[in-house]
Amino acid sequence: MIIVVKKGTKEEFIDNIKDTLLANGMTFYVLQGSSYVLIPVAGDLTTSDMGRFRSLKGVERIINISKPYFMVSKHYREKSIVDLGDGIDIGSDFTVISGPCSVESADSLDKIAAFLSGLGVKILRGGTFKMRTSPYSFQGLGENGVKILNETAGRYNMKTISEIVDVRHIDLFEQYIDIIQVGARNMMNFALLKELGKSSKPILLKRSANATIEEFLSSAEYIMAEGNENIILCERGITSFDDSTRSLVNIAAIPIIKEQTHLPVILDPSHSVGSFKYVPQVSEAAVVLGADGLIVETHYNPTNALSDGYQSLNFNHFESMYKKVLKLCEFKKENL
């Protein structure tokens, strides 16, 4: 923490700042700058709220140096791989997760799972409790959807991922789902995060559309601080004035996030871009930017999907994209 004090502040106010720091057991130094007095402070700041120093007389502003997270950072560990069992993990090789936006029926999901599994995809996604802006939109099949997802994936030896929207569903998800997804709109639902921190299941945490990287990692810290170290981060676009895509596709954030944390980072190109047309190119960009994988929506008939049809790939598009991405991964290993 650095306390910036206005030049010309009365000595008594500076003494008061010093006394307050001493009383809190902090080490500091006072440096006379040309337009400010700088007081850099060393000490454990997680136990007290830095904000309070801002209201001391003469203080212009407080600059925070420490990060509000530790366990998710590279200071704690160099690299994490999230093991899903049966030889499947996220973090060692590039992983493509796919499936429909929503589980619509057992038949339709089977068709999609058969196709994806045939290509080599090992993790099946499918929305069951949907988060929709309007209460009048399709809200998902709920518990029934969770079971269909579980059974379908079982037939093809696939792992499952689905979004949880209610802390009271944790038991249900733990029973049937392999990776519990926290959506962008729940990234700061700390009650949910803490509860998931006690779960034995891996958590995929999506970045909120208005969260800074620091806030994103702090939310992951909420989970990890409770004991669950199996976390996958997912970048999915941010809010911006540029409305040419559904969200602003923030793929260049991937290497920056990965420099801060040991956790695997994947991209959701479907929700970022909001249009199937750009999903393949954005997915390829994620590969060269060092992402650990993708979670991408696929449907055999996107026009009739019950939600998000426009951003889902059809089977032809998915197969083409998937093969290119794998080829690019090979190329990258040897050349980039």
Residues in 95-124 at the binding interface with a second copy, rule: CB under 8 A: none
| Residue whose structure tokens are 């006690």 | 198
Task: Say if CB 226 and CB 198 are below 8 A apart.
Answer: yes
Are the beta carbons of 48 and 24 closer than 8 angstroms?
yes
Q: By C-alpha distance, which of 37, 38, 44, 39 is closest to 66?
A: 44
- Which of 24, 17, 18, 22 lies closest to 59, judged by CA? 17
Work out whether 225 is an interface residue with a second copy (CB under 8 A). Answer: yes
Restricting to residues 134-163, name those near a second copy by CB under 8 A. Answer: 134-138
Q: Which of 123, 263 has the CB closer to a second copy?
A: 263
Q: Which two tokens stand for residue 176?
A: 């049937």
The binder of a second copy chosen from 65, 175, 198, 333 (CB under 8 A):
65
Q: Is 210 in the site for a second copy (CB under 8 A)?
A: yes
Q: Which stretch binds a second copy (CB under 8 A): 108-116, 118-126, 146-154, 182-190?
A: 182-190
Kindly state the smallest distance separating residue 318's Cβ from a second copy, in Å: 14
Told to check if 10 binds a second copy by CB under 8 A, we report: no
Q: Which residue, 155 or 332, has its beta carbon nearer to a second copy?
A: 332
Burial label, 185 (beta-carbon count in 10 A; 0-12, 13-18, 19+):
middle
Among 11, 87, 242, 316, which residue sits at the site for a second copy (rule: CB under 8 A)? 242
Q: Please, which of residues 252-281 interact with a second copy by CB under 8 A?
A: 252-253, 255-256, 272-273, 275-276, 278, 281
Note whether 22 and 41 are within 8 A (CB): no
Q: Does 34 bind a second copy (CB under 8 A)?
A: yes
Q: How many residues bind a second copy, per CB under 8 A? A: 108
Question: Can residue 42 be called a binding residue for a second copy (CB under 8 A)?
Answer: yes
Q: How far is the CB of 159 from a second copy (least distance, A)?
A: 25
Sequence-distant (≥ 6) Cβ neighbours of residue 205 within 8 angstroms = 182, 187, 193, 216, 219, 220, 223, 231, 232, 233, 234
**Closest C-alpha among 266, 213, 261 to residue 238:** 213
**Interface with a second copy (CB under 8 A), residue from 10, 15, 22, 44:** 44
Minimum CB separation of residue 155 from a second copy in Å reads 28
Tokens of 250: 């923030």
Q: Is 316 in the site for a second copy (CB under 8 A)?
A: no
